[in-house]
Amino acid sequence: MSARTVKLAVIPGDGIGPEVVAEGLKVLSTVAPAHGLALDTTEYELGAKRWHATGETLPDAVEEELRGQEAILLGAVGDPTVPSGVLERGLLLRLRFSFAHYVNLRPVRLYPGVRTPLAGVAPEDIDMLVVREGTEGPYAGAGGVLRKGTPGEIATQDSVNTRFGVERVVRYAFAKAAERPRKKLTLVHKDNVLTFAGELWQRVVREVGAEYPQVTTDYLHVDAATMFFVTQPERFDVVVTDNLFGDIITDLGAAVAGGIGLASSGNVNPEAEFPSMFEPVHGSAPDIAGQGKADPTATILSVALLLEHLGYAKAAAQVETAVAEDLRARADSGAVRSTSQIGDDIARRVAE
Amino acid sequence: MSARTVKLAVIPGDGIGPEVVAEGLKVLSTVAPAHGLALDTTEYELGAKRWHATGETLPDAVEEELRGQEAILLGAVGDPTVPSGVLERGLLLRLRFSFAHYVNLRPVRLYPGVRTPLAGVAPEDIDMLVVREGTEGPYAGAGGVLRKGTPGEIATQDSVNTRFGVERVVRYAFAKAAERPRKKLTLVHKDNVLTFAGELWQRVVREVGAEYPQVTTDYLHVDAATMFFVTQPERFDVVVTDNLFGDIITDLGAAVAGGIGLASSGNVNPEAEFPSMFEPVHGSAPDIAGQGKADPTATILSVALLLEHLGYAKAAAQVETAVAEDLRARADSGAVRSTSQIGDDIARRVAE
Ligand SMILES: CC(C)[C@H](C(=O)O)[C@@H](O)C(=O)O
Ligand SMILES: CC(C)[C@H](C(=O)O)[C@@H](O)C(=O)O
């Protein structure tokens, strides 16, 4: 097999970001060679430290460089010393928007051996794929403030939903649903209140759904969906939803599937016109940074999503299997391991 | 004690609405006389049936009549035969907005004997009061559609947040928190993404909070809040949040506290310039309508909120105690009772 070299940008970021990214790269570099994959990694220092030092979140020149990469692995950005929103809007969302990451892919799966806060739920009850829109909706940043600081102040926040943006993510979700054994797609929205956006989402799901007669479609209001996440998680297969609802239900999904330490995500541009970006759902957790306490599993599972996106499905499956085995072993042993020990153990399983 | 007569509007509505409202009124009329409360009830037929017959959701003249009442008891409105949004926007939200129900009060409490889907959680772990804003935010109905049905279609949905609207609900929430033993208030928002609205909410909580040094304030992003609802519900005492986030987290709250059949709510205008409206959180459940299968408990607990709002705190406590006893008895007996049997049993306990 002749090796293909993939240009991978690495953004370790803040807090536990560098620690978990190191383990992700460890596993990636273990699995890659056997699949003919060589990595040309470039590290970018972005996040709180850079912002404090230079006031920059994402300089244009860095964005241009990133654009020339094939994929991005990101740890976590954010720190309590940076005002809320600065790094989120200026770095993370800017990357998602600039690189048209219109599919924010978030598997929600309960691995055997993992403890869920739900009573009487088995691994086979929780196995869904949330396809969250990633480039518009209430995340557009539209809105503003009038008469700030006065009794007449008004702040608006506008959700922007386009046919173009909704259709592309809905098409992706149907294609995914058609590949899965259960072939079910649930739209989550709030169309009885957000009538303008809701009607567009419903209509697009109906129209695209007509091309997928083998896929069963369902609809739930977001409030009802959160109930069913905890009372009937087996109800869900593929879920397609807007940017904000997707943010909310995937954190809830992470919680029911054993916690944010295991939740992976991909910010995907399916056409590969731009580099896709893979990151754990968790944040930078500054309280435990630098102590080797962070669980790198979410990052390692994000590496599996990265491999699959790059076309290395077998390598991805190998990583996922290694993680599943490690999670089962954890349940048995109960031993506390450091971040790098978990990375070592998973890498070892991958190598076997 | 000289009797006071309260003018109460009753909107039974659709589906199971009339059944559960009948039980709410049964309990109300049992408890009222001993507390010197007489009721002058007027029933209004609003909902799906009226809309089908006349095309009306809430005629102006009916709204005017309702304005002259002191309180409203509502069952549920909605039916699959009515397009999504018509009754929600045209009736329910119109009442909330017209009558300045800026406090949407939703207790989330796990009663002893009630099964929660969460493992290892005890009643004392779930006892919160969600104060949801009820008159603005993404529920404002602002937004629109351009180029409908074409590839260039765009649908917007605007969240409207005013200093006036945010401050009044935040003040109410602090006052409630100050009355409770734990004196803790958690703001739930998404200020790292919805920066315009989020900053206003944060600033108002900070400013009003300065007047309540005895109340501890906390902040959580809405996505994190849904996680903590299932992993650490004991973290919450009073929660204040915007209209949409409140909608979502109170359904989740209902789920963890034993289900939507027990979740009560008040749409409150604290100054009593307009009639406040009390309703179960659940919907019209047309699939079980007319079969005596609906649980009237949420409506009966909403009657307790109504009594408290009218100044009959002792009567409210009596109803709540009767419900708590009934819920405990259910856990022991496991017998299946009809809607009216549950109402009878709770009314009997109230009368004792
Ligand atoms: C950090 C924040 C901007 C982000 C989001 O809201 O999308 C995070 O919560 C996530 O889910 O990736
Ligand atoms: C029916 C709907 C408009 C309503 C809401 O979204 O407020 C309901 O979900 C609720 O929580 O009372």
Q: Is residue B9 part of a domain?
A: yes
Q: What is the CATH number of the domain that holds A179?
A: 3.30.420
d(CA A101, CA A283): 19
**Which pLDDT belongs to residue A334?**
81
Residue of B138, B223, B247 lying closest to A223 (CB–CB): B247
Last residue of a domain, one of B207, B222, B257: B257
- Statement to judge: residues B273 and B251 lie in one domain: no
Q: Do B151 and A164 touch (CB under 8 A)?
A: yes
Q: Is residue A336 part of a domain?
A: yes
Position in ligand 2 atom list of the atom nearest CA B89: 3
CA A168 to ligand 1 centroid distance, Å? 21
Out of A40, A148, A158, A223, pick the active-site residue: A223
- Alpha carbon separation from B316 to B34, B107, B302, B306, B307 (Å, rounded): 12, 14, 10, 8, 5
Closest CA to B78 of B11, B15, B21: B15
- Quick check: A1 pLDDT over 90? no
Out of A247, A295, A312, A326, pick the active-site residue: A247
Give mean pLDDT, residues A192-202.
98
Closest CA to A223 of B85, B246, B135: B246
Q: Is residue B125 part of a domain?
A: no
CA A120 to ligand 1 centroid distance, Å? 30
Structural tokens at position B38:
């007489």
Contact A165, A135 (CB under 8 A): yes
Position in ligand 2 atom list of the atom nearest CA B77: 1
**Which pLDDT belongs to residue A3?**
84
Q: Which residues of A touch B191 (CB under 8 A)?
A: 84-85
Q: What is the CATH number of the domain that holds B233?
A: 3.40.50.2300
d(CA B11, CA B69): 12
Residue nearest to atom 2 of ligand 1 (CA): A88
d(CA B53, CA B56): 8
State the sign of the Cα–Cα–Cα–Cα dihedral B335, B341, B346, B352: negative
- What's the alpha-carbon Rg for chain A, to the nearest Å? 20
Number of domains observed in the structure of chain A: 2
Q: Is residue A131 part of a domain?
A: no
Closest CA to A123 of A115, A131, A112: A112
Q: Which residues of B touch A249 (CB under 8 A)?
A: 226
Per residue in A123-136, pLDDT (tens digit) is 999 999 999 999 99
Closest CA to B307 of B39, B16, B10: B39
Q: Can you tell me which residue has the tokens 């536990």?
A: A16
- Statement to judge: residues A27 and A107 lie in one domain: yes
- Statement to judge: residues B246 and B296 lie in one domain: no
**Which pLDDT belongs to residue B334?**
80
Position in ligand 1 atom list of the atom nearest CA A250: 11
- Alpha carbon separation from A29 to A17, A34, A351, B176 (Å, rounded): 18, 10, 10, 56
- Statement to judge: residues B270 and B194 lie in one domain: no
Whether B247 is a known active-site residue: answer yes
**Which residues have any ligand 1 atom within 6 Å of their CB?**
A 88, 92, 247, 281; B 192-193, 223
Structural tokens at position A300:
């390692």
**Which pLDDT belongs to residue B196?**
98
Best probe residue, ligand 2, of A190, A193, A220, A227 (max atoms within 8 Å of C-beta): A193
Structural tokens at position B309:
């709002």
Q: Do A260 and B226 touch (CB under 8 A)?
A: no
Question: Nearest residue on chain A to B93, judged by CA atoms?
Answer: A193
Q: Do A138 and B160 touch (CB under 8 A)?
A: no
Q: Is residue A279 part of a domain?
A: yes
- Statement to judge: residues A172 and A278 lie in one domain: no
Whether B102 is a known active-site residue: answer no
H helix and E strand count, chain A: 12, 12
Q: Determine the distance in angstroms separating the CA of A144 from the nearest CA of chain B, rounded to an integer.
A: 6
Whether B251 is a known active-site residue: answer yes
Last residue of a domain, one of B203, B228, B257: B257
Out of B158, B223, B287, B314, pick the active-site residue: B223
pLDDT in tens, chain B (352 residues): 578 999 999 999 999 999 999 999 999 999 999 999 999 999 999 999 999 999 999 999 999 999 999 999 999 999 999 999 999 999 999 999 999 999 999 999 999 999 999 999 999 999 999 999 999 999 999 999 999 999 999 999 999 999 999 999 999 999 999 999 999 999 999 999 999 999 999 999 999 999 999 999 999 999 999 999 999 999 999 999 999 999 999 999 999 999 999 999 999 999 999 999 999 999 999 999 999 999 999 999 999 999 999 999 999 999 999 999 999 999 888 889 999 999 999 999 999 8
Q: Do B249 and A255 touch (CB under 8 A)?
A: no
- Statement to judge: residues A96 and A150 lie in one domain: no
Extract the runs of DSSP E, i.e. beta strands, from A57-118.
Answer: 71-76, 103-109
Q: Is residue A122 part of a domain?
A: no
Q: Is residue B126 part of a domain?
A: no
- Statement to judge: residues B244 and B268 lie in one domain: no
Q: Is residue B128 part of a domain?
A: no
Q: Determine the distance in angstroms separating the CA of B334 from the nearest CA of chain A, rounded to an integer.
A: 19
Q: Do A254 and B230 touch (CB under 8 A)?
A: no
- Statement to judge: residues B49 and B64 lie in one domain: yes
- Statement to judge: residues B179 and B99 lie in one domain: no
Best probe residue, ligand 1, of A14, A92, A103 (max atoms within 8 Å of C-beta): A92
Whether A344 is a known active-site residue: answer no
CA A247 to ligand 1 centroid distance, Å? 6
Last residue of a domain, one of B210, B229, B257: B257
**Which pLDDT belongs to residue A110?**
98
Instruction: Return the DSSP state at A118.
Output: B
The secondary element (H helix, E strand) that includes residue B319 is helix B313-333
Q: Do B230 and A224 touch (CB under 8 A)?
A: no
d(CA A155, CA B195): 9
Q: Which residues of A touch B84 (CB under 8 A)?
A: 191-192, 195, 198, 202
The secondary element (H helix, E strand) that includes residue A228 is helix A222-231
Residue nearest to atom 3 of ligand 2 (CA): B88
d(CA A229, CA B86): 27
- Statement to judge: residues A218 and A287 lie in one domain: no
- Statement to judge: residues B232 and B163 lie in one domain: yes
Whether B223 is a known active-site residue: answer yes
**Which pLDDT belongs to residue B1?**
56
Beta bridge partners of A219: A187
The secondary element (H helix, E strand) that includes residue A328 is helix A313-333
Q: Which ligand is nearest to the Cα of residue A198, counting in written order?
A: 2
d(CA A327, CA A109): 12
- Statement to judge: residues A101 and A166 lie in one domain: no
Residue nearest to atom 12 of ligand 1 (CA): A281
Q: Which residues of A touch B207 (CB under 8 A)?
A: none
Structural tokens at position B50:
């009226």
- Tell whether ligand 2 has an atom less than 6 A from the beta carbon of residue B281: yes
A3 CB-near residues (< 8 Å, 6+ apart): A33, A36, A37, A38
Q: What is the CATH number of the domain that holds B104?
A: 3.40.718.10
Q: Report which residue type is found at A51.
A: W
Contact A183, A213 (CB under 8 A): no
Q: How far apart are the first and last CA of chain B?
A: 20
Q: Which residues of A touch B244 (CB under 8 A)?
A: 190, 193
Position in ligand 2 atom list of the atom nearest CA A193: 3
Structural domain boundaries enclosing A152? 139-242
- Tell whether ligand 2 has an atom less than 6 A from the beta carbon of residue B88: yes
Contact A340, A314 (CB under 8 A): no
Contact B318, B271 (CB under 8 A): no
Q: Which residues of A touch B250 (CB under 8 A)?
A: 223
Hey, of B110, B146, B157, B260, which one would you mutate to test binding to chain A, going by the most A CBs within 10 A of its CB?
A: B157
